[in-house]
Chain A
Amino acid sequence: MSGFAGGMAILLDPYMLGVILAGTVLGVIVGALPGLSGSTTTALLLPLTIGMGPVASVAFLGSIYCAANFGGSITAILINTPGDPSASATAYDGYPMAARGEAGRALGMSAVASAIGGIFSILVMVVATPLLARMAYNFGPPEYFALALFGLSMLGAVGGEGGIRNLIAGAFGVLLATIGLDLTTGIERFTFGIPQLSEGIGIVPVLTGLFAMSEMLVQASQLHIVPERLALTAVRLPSLADFRKCAKAISLSSLIGVFIGILPALGATAAALISYSETKRWSKYKHEFGKGAIEGVAGPEAANNAAVGGNMVPTLALGIPGSATTAIILAGLLVQGVRPGPHLFTEQPTLLWAVFSSMLASNLIYLVLGLFAAKLFARITLIPDAYLWPAVFVFAIVGAYGPDQSMMDVWVMLLFGVVGFVFRRYGFSPAPLVMGLVLGKMTEESLKQSLLMFDQNWLLFFTRPIVIVLFVVTLISVLMPLIWPLIRRAFRREPVLDPLSE
């Protein structure tokens, strides 16, 4: 209970409230800016959090994550370009609503549905995280190895060649994590005699390069595209009739969002896309979808925000990130010397309650901002690319240099900017690479520790029931890319977007 009280007490601390407010406002702003997603911003600003301490750091990054999903809907509705990939499904009906002069109604519903989904997911997170952590409390290295393998295998759950690509990118990320000293033998691997690489490749420069620099190159290729901007007169609260109409969509999508979010590797984008099709399936007004159905805005917005809390459950309870952004938040905690996992609940309960309370506060803040300041945030989309992206570039440079004051890290960032651009051009998402990089050390260490425990006898993995269950689920995830085309052919459904693109 003292942990709960301590966590809630951060809301009385003016410094912490300032951090949460700054994170939320920043989250809405970057969410609204096409190209600058929540994951890009958390990667970009991660170095700034190093001096903050773990509680403020996770509150800041968590607030950005919560608010960016809502911010993405502003541009999805007003310029038909999702500011954050998780808002891509919102554009399907949000933009047609704006086109017929109902931008305010769409944004109002987006703010309310986002907040309901977000707050619901935090309540689930409060209950589910300690339960999952308690279950995992007695996990040994074999269970952690199986868990890490399961997390990585979920990258393939997208299906089709997208799943194969994600698995390749994930394996590449794990390979990158092997750079540096081998912990059991002290032998250097892939360091090429460069002393800075002995401790491994820096997560911060890789993240900044993959997300911010590669996005800058993508934006450079799209300078000729001028989006059509629709005017926003005022934001009004959705009417009681709107609420009645959307209640089912919000409830269903909140459940879908939390469920998808809890699954490792699947984030807010997957949740929004799946909830859009489910909202349509269960709606009485199917014919309105695609032409400006308010349920088509409420469903995905509730789901993508509900996925945020869901994503945090495996991240905090097991140390297995639920999405690209939570992988970055996890990296932020690792940089602070905090290793999320079951033991965190006994060692630092205040930190966990602080995460819950800060995310709750963030949801309430962006609800108010969304309802009363959306017009102001909509103006952010007017910032010319010629000012925005050079500014992002210099932030990325100092962000990569700052933590270790190493020019090597700046070069690594630029290199991974190019890698990220090539990745995207050939259909690979940078998110699985990040998941692999974050999970890499844990995977190798737990495998080696397990084999030491088992006296190098691999078969003894199969004497542990939890490991067997996780191996079976992993096998299903890995086989999914192979059987998915058959399932898709049977149901004749085409995937809309790669859900891992978050």
Chain B
Amino acid sequence: MTPRRLHTDAVVALVILAFCAGVFALTFTFDTVPAALAVGMGPAAFPRLLLAVMALLALLLAVSSRGRAEEVREPVPAMVWWTAAAMLAFMGVLWLVGMVVAMAIAVVGMGALWGERRWLILLASGIGLSLAIYVFFTKVFGIPLPAGFIAERLF
């Protein structure tokens, strides 16, 4: 006899319960309230109350999943992982070459990752968009964008 698989909602409920337990433990690391201010609800009371509500709701979710048909869930397509990896890689590129250049690289790189092969249009849109954002943010709003490690060392 094969063991019965837990319903996905029951697994989700367990994850939420574990999360609640972890965060509940964190509430014990808060600094002690000075005696003069220790009136009424302490800083940990409200988060703990919320965690208790979340845990209770998670239990309800687990109970409500009993006897309910399991929804068929396709595995996460590889493109999602690649896109998430590209987002993470963007942060590395940004640190190295700064936001303006990193944005141009992101538009070209992610566009190519998503199947675009018209390189000239892709390049033009990447450069055009990042330049437009640069002008808008730095010249119109006066918000400086991060220059990146290389530029900081060079200039």
Those of B87-105 within 8 Å (CB) of chain A: 87-88, 90-91, 94, 99, 103
- Cross-chain contact B57 with A414 (CB below 8 angstroms): no
Assembled-state Cα–Cα distance A387/B107 (Å) = 7
Assembled-state Cα–Cα distance A189/B31 (Å) = 9
Would you call B116 an interface residue if the criterion is a C-beta within 8 Å of the partner chain's C-beta atoms? yes
CB distance from A207 to the nearest CB of B (A): 17
CB distance from B49 to the nearest CB of A (A): 9
- Cross-chain contact B43 with A217 (CB below 8 angstroms): no
- Cross-chain contact A220 with B80 (CB below 8 angstroms): yes
Would you call A239 an interface residue if the criterion is a C-beta within 8 Å of the partner chain's C-beta atoms? no
Would you call B147 an interface residue if the criterion is a C-beta within 8 Å of the partner chain's C-beta atoms? no
Q: Counting chain B CB atoms within 10 Å of each CB, which of A51, A220, A395, A411 scores highest? A: A220
Assembled-state Cα–Cα distance A130/B98 (Å) = 49
- Cross-chain contact A414 with B114 (CB below 8 angstroms): no
CB distance from A52 to the nearest CB of B (A): 11
Q: Chain A residues near B27: list those with CB within 8 A.
A: 189
CB distance from A148 to the nearest CB of B (A): 12
**Are A171 and B99 CB-contacts (below 8 A) given A402-B143, A405-B144?**
no
Q: Chain A residues near B110: list those with CB within 8 A.
A: 386, 389-390, 393
- Cross-chain contact A394 with B107 (CB below 8 angstroms): yes
Would you call A398 an interface residue if the criterion is a C-beta within 8 Å of the partner chain's C-beta atoms? yes
- Cross-chain contact B46 with A401 (CB below 8 angstroms): no
User: How big is the B interface, by class?
Assistant: 35 or more
- Cross-chain contact A187 with B84 (CB below 8 angstroms): no
Query: Taking CB as reference atom, which chain B residue is nearest A390?
Result: B110
Those of A348-389 within 8 Å (CB) of chain B: 384-387, 389
Would you call B3 an interface residue if the criterion is a C-beta within 8 Å of the partner chain's C-beta atoms? no
**Are A456 and B99 CB-contacts (below 8 A) given A387-B116, A390-B111?**
no
- Cross-chain contact A448 with B143 (CB below 8 angstroms): no
- Cross-chain contact A168 with B58 (CB below 8 angstroms): yes
CB distance from B88 to the nearest CB of A (A): 8
For chains A and B in complex, what number of residue pairs have CB atoms within 8 angstroms?
162
- Cross-chain contact B42 with A161 (CB below 8 angstroms): no
- Cross-chain contact A417 with B87 (CB below 8 angstroms): yes
User: Which single member of B51, B76, B84, B112 contacts A175 (CB below 8 Å)?
Assistant: B51
Would you call A178 an interface residue if the criterion is a C-beta within 8 Å of the partner chain's C-beta atoms? yes
**Number of chain A residues whose Cβ lies closer than 8 Å to a Cβ of chain B:** 60
Assembled-state Cα–Cα distance A187/B27 (Å) = 11
**Are A386 and B114 CB-contacts (below 8 A) given A186-B37, A401-B145, A448-B40?**
yes
Assembled-state Cα–Cα distance A182/B30 (Å) = 10
Assembled-state Cα–Cα distance A447/B111 (Å) = 49
- Cross-chain contact A394 with B133 (CB below 8 angstroms): yes
Would you call A468 an interface residue if the criterion is a C-beta within 8 Å of the partner chain's C-beta atoms? no
- Cross-chain contact B42 with A216 (CB below 8 angstroms): no
CB distance from B80 to the nearest CB of A (A): 5
Interface 1/0s, chain A 228-263, versus B by CB < 8 A?
000000000000000000000000000000000000
User: Which single member of A171, A405, A417 contacts B57 (CB below 8 Å)?
Assistant: A171
**Are A221 and B37 CB-contacts (below 8 A) given A161-B65, A414-B91?**
no
- Cross-chain contact B99 with A401 (CB below 8 angstroms): yes
- Cross-chain contact B115 with A386 (CB below 8 angstroms): yes
Would you call B53 an interface residue if the criterion is a C-beta within 8 Å of the partner chain's C-beta atoms? yes
- Cross-chain contact B46 with A390 (CB below 8 angstroms): no
Q: Counting chain A CB atoms within 10 Å of each CB, which of B27, B37, B50 scores highest? A: B50
Q: Counting chain A CB atoms within 10 Å of each CB, which of B60, B114, B141 scores highest? A: B114
Assembled-state Cα–Cα distance A456/B26 (Å) = 25
Q: Counting chain A CB atoms within 10 Å of each CB, which of B8, B23, B84, B109 scores highest? A: B84
Assembled-state Cα–Cα distance A481/B38 (Å) = 38
- Cross-chain contact B103 with A394 (CB below 8 angstroms): yes
- Cross-chain contact A425 with B76 (CB below 8 angstroms): yes
- Cross-chain contact A189 with B57 (CB below 8 angstroms): no
Would you call A498 an interface residue if the criterion is a C-beta within 8 Å of the partner chain's C-beta atoms? no
Assembled-state Cα–Cα distance A161/B59 (Å) = 11
User: Which single member of B37, B53, B106 contacts A394 (CB below 8 Å)?
Assistant: B106
- Cross-chain contact B125 with A402 (CB below 8 angstroms): no
- Cross-chain contact B79 with A223 (CB below 8 angstroms): yes
Q: Chain B residues near A447: list those with CB within 8 A.
A: 41, 46
Would you call A167 an interface residue if the criterion is a C-beta within 8 Å of the partner chain's C-beta atoms? yes
CB distance from B100 to the nearest CB of A (A): 10
Would you call A213 an interface residue if the criterion is a C-beta within 8 Å of the partner chain's C-beta atoms? yes
Q: Chain A residues near B122: list those with CB within 8 A.
A: 386-387
- Cross-chain contact A448 with B50 (CB below 8 angstroms): no
Assembled-state Cα–Cα distance A402/B143 (Å) = 7
Would you call B33 an interface residue if the criterion is a C-beta within 8 Å of the partner chain's C-beta atoms? yes
Closest 8 CB pairs of A and B: A386-B116, A182-B43, A390-B110, A386-B114, A220-B83, A187-B43, A394-B103, A390-B107
Apart from the given pairs A185-B33, A190-B26, 5 other A-B contacts in the complex at a CB distance below 8 Å = A175-B47, A397-B99, A397-B106, A426-B12, A452-B39
20 pairs of residues in contact across A and B, judged by CB atoms under 8 Å: A160-B64, A168-B61, A171-B54, A175-B54, A184-B40, A185-B33, A188-B30, A189-B27, A189-B44, A221-B77, A386-B112, A387-B107, A387-B111, A393-B87, A395-B133, A407-B146, A414-B87, A418-B84, A425-B73, A448-B40
